[in-house]
Structure 1
Amino acid sequence: MKTALSLAALLLAATPAAFAQSASPTGGRDYQEDVYVTPYWTRMPVIEAIGRANMQVAPNRASFSVTYLETDKKADEAMKLAVQRGKISYDAIKKIAGDKAIVTSSVSVQPYYEQYRDKDGNKVENDRADKVAGYEARVSLNVLVEDVAIAGKARAGALALGPESSTALSTYLEATTEMNRAAYEAAVKDGAARAKATAEAASTKLGKLLAVQEGGGPCLGRWSTNSGSDDSYYRDEMAYAAAPPPPPPAPVASGMVGRQQVTISQADIDALDLPSDNRKQTISSSVCMIYAAGN
């Protein structure tokens, strides 16, 4: 069977002139036509192979949030109570997860009003400034844990203080440099195997490797509005992450909420540490590889 891989000759024959000049009836300026930009290796028979790799990796990040509400006749007292609970929760989270827990906090306060019944008997708030019944303060902690193994215990420490609302524990993946490199190496091996299979199926010889371009390709050429000197390539982007941390310190937190002493014990944390399975995440990589073909 004759080699059917002389793509370079077809591409060069089909390539239009780099610039097409046209003068408008009003004497306007020249314009550029789209041209097909081809690399140097398309002047010979080549084989293009796209290598792909998908790696299944366990998630390495977790997040959750909790909110504590307190009320009082005075706004500042309501805020103090809510903040005190938030601080104790923060201490418990940090003693469990250490520097692997990144906690951001917020506080807000709003009034609530006296109520009266309308003519239909429905309770209605009287939202006049002189009818304020008290104030509700809200402290929220948003927590990112950089080690999934201790995320459940960190959330249990926050739950032990009885937040008025909380979110689910969410897990996800931020790929490390090592994960990224492993996926890339697997993609290169896959591309080499595909190129070999292509040569065998086309009854031709696989020559030397001419180019490897990270990304999904194609790397034989592309349409461009610039002249043929543009050498830009498409790239895949990957995220990065940190290595697993050492075991956390012994968890314990306590403090005053108003006049009451509040303590979070290890037993409280163990009782509220809900188990959950972490679904594996996918890291993908791809490369475009060019081999010489033929005798």
Structure 2
Amino acid sequence: MTTRLAALAALALLATPALAQVPPAELGARYVPAPWWMREPIIASIGMVRTELPANRAQFGARFSAVERTSDAALAAAAAKVREIDAVLRSQGADRVRIATTFRTTPLYEQYKDKEGNLQTNDRADKIERYEVQASILLEVRDLAALESAYAAVVAARPQAIDPVRFNLEPDNAAKTFLQVEAVKDATRRARAAAEATGSRMGPVKVIDPTGRACRTDVLAGWPSYGRAEARTDVEYAAPPPPPPPAPQSIMVTGRRVAGEPAVQVSLQPPFEALEDDACVVFALLP
């Protein structure tokens, strides 16, 4: 009897997960079974909101180059070119300007002309004439109030090249929460308008899906469809005022300006970027 009970218990344990893991539909089936909240009249509404915020991050890079007969001398010369500008920019604080510096060493080989007059490179280890070291700095400006002064300081350091400034938006948690709440409100407004248009009444909430995926289950088509609609509602986000800027600092690199040359002045305005969010709210539909 004990052995029989143990066997039955084992069969029950094996059967339970099998029943719990039954897929919602079989591959190749014509239709997907409707979700539980569609067993009675419902109205599923997708809230889609959009707002525009100014970019709050900026990145750009600059490169300095030095050529010497030995790799050590070339590295020292390149490091000297970026040492002062690196110290000046780091004085702004890592919370405002973050800097990454890298070096790349390239051997320069002896060159000659062949019988046809074509220039050839003798790329053998014993034919290295000089070394070129390129020092690259990458700036991530996290406080755009420091962008123009940081850019002017890099220009004044006379780098070999400066990359274009790239802007991007990193929304804070307050902006994300605001958009999520507005998406739920938008879904409610759309559902109410649809119910009133049909002479029905909205019942209690059955599902709230902050991802919006629940409303994109295309039951009639057979499988979920996650295409994004474009009819979004514009909302205005009142961002909190930024903290007062720190006291102005002179960050001009010394010893690099020609006598009589005016100080570098630039104007860099961040663009506005779109921020979007969706939410799905399912209501019961009453006659």
Equivalent residue pairs, number: 243
Aligned to 1:62: 58
1:280 aligns with 2:272: yes
In the TM superposition, what whole-angstrom CA distance separates every residue of 1:78-136 from its partner, at most 9, and x where no partner exists?
10010111221212222346532111111121221333333233443333333322111
Match of 2:164 in 1: 168
Q: Which amino acid in the other structure matches residue 267 of structure 2?
A: P
Q: Does 1:72 align with 2:68?
A: yes
Q: Among 271, 288, 293, which residue is 2:285 paired with?
A: 293
Distance 2:100 2:260 in 1: 23
Structure 2 residue identity aligned to 1:77: A
Q: Measure, in 2, the Cα distance between the counterparts of 1:292 and 1:158.
A: 61
1:21-73 deviations in Å (ceiling 9; x for gaps): xxxxxxxxxx9666845444323211111111001000011000111101111
Equivalence for 2:193:
197
> Match for 2:154: what amino acid?
A
Q: Percent identity?
A: 27
Describe how 1:32-51 pairs up with structure 2 within 5 A: 36=32, 38-51=34-47
Q: Which digits, 9 at most, give the CA deviation of each residue in 1:181-201, with x for residues without a partner? A: 111122112111101111111
Q: Which amino acid letter does the alignment assign opposite residue 138 of structure 1? A: Q
Cα distance in 1 between the residues matched to 2:83 and 2:208: 54
**Aligned-partner SS, 1:99:** coil
**TM-score for both structures, normalised by structure 2:** 0.73
Aligned to 2:3: none
Where structure 1 has 5 or more consecutive residues not aligned to the other structure, the ranges are 1-17, 21-30, 224-233, 235-242, 255-261
- The one-letter code sitting in structure 2 at the alignment partner of 1:54 is R
Q: Distance in 1 between matches of 2:123 and 2:131?
A: 13
Question: Residue 143 of structure 1 aligns with which residue?
Answer: 139
Question: SS state of the match for residue 95, structure 2?
Answer: helix
RMSD: 3.3
Counterpart mapping for 1:223-242 below 5 A: none
Counterparts of 1:144 and 1:289 in 2: how far apart (Å)? 39
2-structure distance, mates of 1:139, 1:113: 20
Q: Are the counterparts in 2 of residues 92 and 264 from structure 1 also a CA contact under 8 Å?
A: no
Cα 1:192/1:41, change in 2 over 3 Å: same
Kindly provide the amino acid, as one letter, of the partner of residue 288 in structure 1.
Answer: C
The residue that corresponds to 2:5 in the other structure is none
What displacement does 1:212 show? 1.5
Identify which range, 155-164 or 56-65, moves more after superposition: 155-164
CA distance in 2, matches of 1:87, 1:103: 12
Q: Distance in 2 between matches of 1:165 and 1:213?
A: 49
CA distance in 2, matches of 1:176, 1:269: 41
What CA distance in whole angstroms lies between the structure 1 residues aligned with 2:117 and 2:247? 56
Residues 1:176 and 1:269: Cα distance change in structure 2 (over 3 Å): farther
Indicate if the aligned counterparts of 2:100 and 2:138 stay in contact, CA closer than 8 A.
yes
Change (3 A) 1:284 1:278: same
Q: In structure 2, what is the equivalent of residue 252 of structure 1? A: 251
Query: Is residue 214 of structure 1 aligned with residue 210 of structure 2?
Result: yes
| TM-score, normalisation: structure 1 | 0.71
**61 and 280 in structure 1: CA distance in 2 versus 1, 3 angstrom threshold:** same
Question: 1:60/1:270 Cα in 2 relative to 1: closer, same or farther (>3 Å)?
Answer: farther
2:249 maps to a residue whose letter is: A
In structure 2, how many angstroms separate the alpha carbons of the residues matched to 1:269 and 1:88? 20
Provide Cα deviations, 1:140-185, integer angstroms capped at 9, x if missing partner: 1111111223223212212211111121011010111111111112
Are the aligned partners of 2:97 and 2:146 in contact in 1 as well (CA < 8 Å)?
Answer: no
Q: Secondary structure at the match of 1:247?
A: coil
From the superposition, tell whether residues 248 and 66 of structure 1 become closer, same or farther in structure 2 (CA, over 3 Å).
farther
- Please report how far the alpha carbon of residue 263 of structure 1 lies from its aligned counterpart in structure 2 after TM superposition: 3.5
SS of 1:114's equivalent in the other structure is strand
Change in CA separation of 1:126 and 1:41 when aligned onto 2, cut-off 3 Å? closer
Shift of the 165–147 alpha-carbon distance from structure 1 to 2, 3 Å rule, reads same
The correspondence of residues 110-121 of structure 1 with structure 2, limited to 5 A, is 110-121=106-117
Q: Which amino acid aligns with 1:291?
A: F
SS at match of 1:185: helix
